[in-house]
Structure 1
Amino acid sequence: MLQPRDELPSVLYSAAQVRDLDARLIAAGTAGFELMQRAAQAAWRALRRRWPQSTRVDVLAGSGNNAGDGYLLAALAQKAGWTVRVLAVGDPQRLAGDARLAFEAAQAAGVAVLPWAARTSLQGVLVDALLGTGLSGEVHSPYREAIEAINASRLPVLALDVPSGLCADSGRVLGCAVRAELTVTFIGLKLGLFSGDGPTLVGDLVFDDLRADPAILAGVPVKARRLTAAGLQALPPRQRDAHKGDFGRLLVIGGDSGTGGAALLAAQSALRCGAGLVSAATREVHVGAFLARCPELMVRGLASANQVLPLVEAADVLVVGPGLGQSAWGRSLLSVAASRSDKRQVWDADALNLLAAGVVQAPAGLVLTPHPGEAARLLGCSGAQVQADRPQAALSLAQKFAACVVLKGAGSLIATPEGELALCDHGHPAMAGAGLGDVLAGIIGALLAQGMSAQAAAHLAVWLHARAGERLGSQGRGIAASDLIAPVRELLEEHSPCLD
């Protein structure tokens, strides 16, 4: 059986950190070849569980330690009576150290080791033992052709440690990469397995720590952490005599002509996530629709920025940007919010675009919620550059604006100015639609209004949002953003019960 996602470790490492862990384990007395044998055994167990009817395996091997794991897996399959070939893409004569010992063990077991060629017909379960985490640049020949042959074969593929061609740090494809059905990774989880293109290429993920001493693992700094239910801060239960004033006054500022729905979604989600009093400042034309849809909101139609001043003064938390637009109306409202560094604030959508354009300067301590395009504008780079290294983009934004940053997308990331990074590996492709970011902004604002720190609120909100998307996504495509609000409320109650 595959490991349930929340049974995977929460700690994520860079490739260099995992290599450091490997070296520490060896220095502490576990031979490198023993670790390689454990990795091969873990992968072999996973292969048999996933494809129990198979009796044939082709291992495509490179010329490093990743190949060593592959050679030892081939030896195990040979001893089990399978039809086995190792197709050597990397010259076996270049193997050294433990990888050389693994090659010799495969030969001793009777494994056929053949040179790979583009015309070779692949068969059985394919094992990717080509490059692993050691790749530092773009994939070159003959590895490129081997990866293309694997992907074109339509055969089941198991990747050892990481799919070859995938950057273990960022999740970026380094020219081309293996698309695996199953990846078995070792010692520590690599950040790139969960970011960028990682989730698409990894397939199902199995982790084995190779019986590493936890004390040794604890001695290496953490690159990032996965958001898990157990690791998220909870809202405290409410006292029996609680009243609305105990849970914050939240103001949503947005909804220019034609985009009132975005501000309404943010306000509704804030209300449903427990903010005590929720107001909305929007265009006069939208007031009737707001009250018809959600009469619990206090809605004020604005013609100018002067009218928002008393509303801002009364609020504890501002959610600025959903449907704000970039006209003079939106710019003036954002300028008022930017002048109030004493207010806790979430900036989304056009608030971010106006910030990128230099219309305002952001006060420190904001929560910023960009999608990749907005992040690119804020950093002065392309969207492709943001997606090529999402973790670094999130950290750069957090440091540039002294803000807690939620970089949205598959594998949403939360970064702080202090360099802490968290990743959410929940969510569903059915969530690809308009308005879901407005809902997220409202959730974050509601949690801020109830006393959470920016980081804790961002963590919990992103997790709730993604898990709600999974619940709805199981029913298929066509999620409307407003659909998300009810399951978010249910999940929040499951995580943080209102009463003891």
Structure 2
Amino acid sequence: MTLPLPFSTNALYSVADIRNVEQEALATLTTGSLMRAAGQAAAVFARSLIPSGSAEILVLAGPGNNGGDALEIAYLFAAAGDRVSVIIAEGIQAYSAEAKESLLKAQSSQVHFFGLDYLQKNSGKQWTLIIDGLFGIGLTRPIKGKVAQLIEHINQYAAQSGIPVVALDVPSGLNADTGQVVGTDGIAIRASHTITFIANKPGLHTAAGKDYAGQVKVADLAIASQLFPEPVAILSNAAAVLASGSPRPHNSHKGSYGDVFVIGGEEGMAGAPILAARAALHGGAGRVFAGFLSRPPSFDSRNPELMCRRAQDVHFTDTTIVIGPGLGNSELAKNVLMSSLTQAASLVIDADALNLIASDPALQKLVNQRAHINDQTGNPVRTLMTPHPLEAARLLETTSGTIQADRLRSARALADKFNATIVLKGSGSIIATTGETLIINTSGNPALATAGTGDVLAGLCGALLAQGMPVSEAASIAVWLHGKAADQWVARGRGPIGMTASELIPAIRDCINHYSRRPER
């Protein structure tokens, strides 16, 4: 799942790296050329979001170069005959030479300038488009005072009116590296669209970033690709990987696509392994077994193809095991987890199994040692862990708030600690494997915020591993399919409210077949 360089809009860069690239580029450019390029790109993009004809444009201009970009756009809209109002934040006295040049151009045009209290005095004004150029990627302190009140007013107005709000580079108040609002009591612009300059940023695609950034467009400003270092992360390209795979041969059978054993189902929790097993079946595994710590059902009435067993009777050696859904924390649960850790060729660790590992250093050691074990064919065994933020916090002995504060760093820390591939679940799930570039998932929506969808994801991961996919590729594709199926469910008008994990499973099968299908000759 690595992304070829040179530069791609799927490559994600840290603020520090982008600053370095920008400085190197500026050394070879004339004063103001980069700001003019940003303004032109943003103006063209913003224009595409509104009806043709004269428009009422509100521009928010802050004290840094982000404000200079905003003023450049204001000048371009005014030159095109639109009615443009600019709200100026304090601090423009410290503008760079480039920003001052854009300010002078806007002042010499038909742009109208106002202070921070303008909206409070003109609450009935109707706008066609709002441009957010208050703060860019350099913001380090929470937004307070009159600017915070302005942002709150803008967010309320946009929510009620439904007009486009275009953020320049990053929504003001959002951390471009982490995707969190700057400061525990901070505020940020809720943009419908973000046009981000020079390169894409991870914070626009994970944590709260997706809620604040909206749809993201990248304007690289024609900066040479050789100036860019390796990205800190990439956006998942799972659809392309699925499309490039080999079709299933006619001359195949159930043994060609692997066996998956799902282990869980403590008393009162039998539904969790059933969901995971059904997902493995619909994900293409050749045979699927469900192992229960409590008394197993005779069969699954919805999918009688599933084979139900006692967990103690499951064959652990050199197979694909999904362990954790409904597992509980009994001594038997711990024993079957130890068997899985020491014997399984491919292992997906989820839910209660993660919590058992977090509370037991001996189990943690067994997870770590799997990186040095080969299966009977001589290939390294594969380990995939799928924690949500609270489970991740237990595994790293910290808080879920700390995990969410920097999801990329947390995912990398988990991968390094356990020598495993990690899926850190949540908005913009992150896939981390030691020595590989981080991957941020691009699919999914709030429909997945319901019980059982994590079990479905674990079963799907097991199915892809059983079919022979490399572990990081299986993780990335499973997470993307899981989210894409939910996206398509919502697109059909059946969510996001009230979608169930059971409904998600056949939708995943539809996605797999759609994106893997070849045109007939």
Normalising by structure 2, what TM-score? 0.87
Alpha-carbon displacement from aligned partner over 1:417-452 (angstroms, at most 9, x marks no partner): 225211112112222111111111111111111111
- Other-structure match for 2:261: 251
Matches within 5 A, 1:7-18: 9-18=9-18
Alpha-carbon displacement from aligned partner over 1:117-176 (angstroms, at most 9, x marks no partner): 374536433321111111123224443333233224446432111110000011000111
Structure 1 residue runs of 4+, over 6 Å off? none
Matches within 5 A, 1:322-341: 322-340=325-343
Looking at structure 2, the residues matched to 144 and 286 of structure 1 have their Cα atoms a distance apart, in angstroms, of 57
**Alignment-mate amino acid for residue 175 of structure 2:** C
Looking at structure 1, the residues matched to 132 and 332 of structure 2 have their Cα atoms a distance apart, in angstroms, of 56
Looking at structure 2, the residues matched to 51 and 242 of structure 1 have their Cα atoms a distance apart, in angstroms, of 53
Query: Are residue 437 (structure 1) and residue 437 (structure 2) matched?
Result: no
- Other-structure match for 1:67: 67
Looking at structure 1, the residues matched to 212 and 278 of structure 2 have their Cα atoms a distance apart, in angstroms, of 36
Q: 1:297 to 1:32 in 2, by over 3 A?
A: farther
Aligned with 1:316 (options 319, 322, 333): 319
Alpha-carbon displacement from aligned partner over 1:91-133 (angstroms, at most 9, x marks no partner): 3221122111111221222433333237453643332111111
Query: Are residue 193 (structure 1) and residue 204 (structure 2) matched?
Result: yes
Gaps of 5+ in 1: 1-7
- Other-structure match for 1:294: 303
1:14–1:169 Cα contact (<8 Å) kept: yes
Post-superposition offset of 1:381:
1.7
Query: Are residue 356 (structure 1) and residue 358 (structure 2) matched?
Result: yes
- Other-structure match for 2:477: 460
Q: Per the alignment, in what secondary structure is the counterpart of residue 167 of structure 1?
A: coil
Post-superposition offset of 1:384:
1.9
1:77–1:84 Cα contact (<8 Å) kept: yes
Post-superposition offset of 1:222:
0.7
Q: Per the alignment, in what secondary structure is the counterpart of residue 205 of structure 1?
A: strand
Tell me how large the CA RMSD over aligned residues is: 2.3
Q: After alignment, is 31-40 or 126-135 more displaced? A: 31-40
- Other-structure match for 1:100: 100
Post-superposition offset of 1:235:
4.7
2:238–2:476 Cα contact (<8 Å) kept: no
- Other-structure match for 2:44: 45
Looking at structure 2, the residues matched to 83 and 355 of structure 1 have their Cα atoms a distance apart, in angstroms, of 61
Q: 1:449 to 1:94 in 2, by over 3 A?
A: same
Looking at structure 1, the residues matched to 300 and 130 of structure 2 have their Cα atoms a distance apart, in angstroms, of 59
1:429–1:473 Cα contact (<8 Å) kept: no
1:15–1:168 Cα contact (<8 Å) kept: yes
Aligned with 1:487 (options 487, 507, 516): 507
Q: Per the alignment, in what secondary structure is the counterpart of residue 217 of structure 2?
A: strand
Normalising by structure 1, what TM-score? 0.90
**Count of matched residue pairs:** 482
Q: 1:254 to 1:444 in 2, by over 3 A?
A: same
Alpha-carbon displacement from aligned partner over 1:54-103 (angstroms, at most 9, x marks no partner): 62223221111101001111111222222223222123221122111111
1:232–1:459 Cα contact (<8 Å) kept: no
Q: Per the alignment, in what secondary structure is the counterpart of residue 309 of structure 2?
A: strand
Query: Are residue 220 (structure 1) and residue 205 (structure 2) matched?
Result: no
**Alignment-mate amino acid for residue 402 of structure 1:** N
**Alignment-mate amino acid for residue 134 of structure 2:** L
1:398–1:405 Cα contact (<8 Å) kept: yes
Q: Per the alignment, in what secondary structure is the counterpart of residue 470 of structure 1?
A: helix
Q: Per the alignment, in what secondary structure is the counterpart of residue 288 of structure 2?
A: strand
Identity of aligned residues (%): 40
Query: Are residue 412 (structure 1) and residue 415 (structure 2) matched?
Result: no
**Alignment-mate amino acid for residue 388 of structure 2:** H
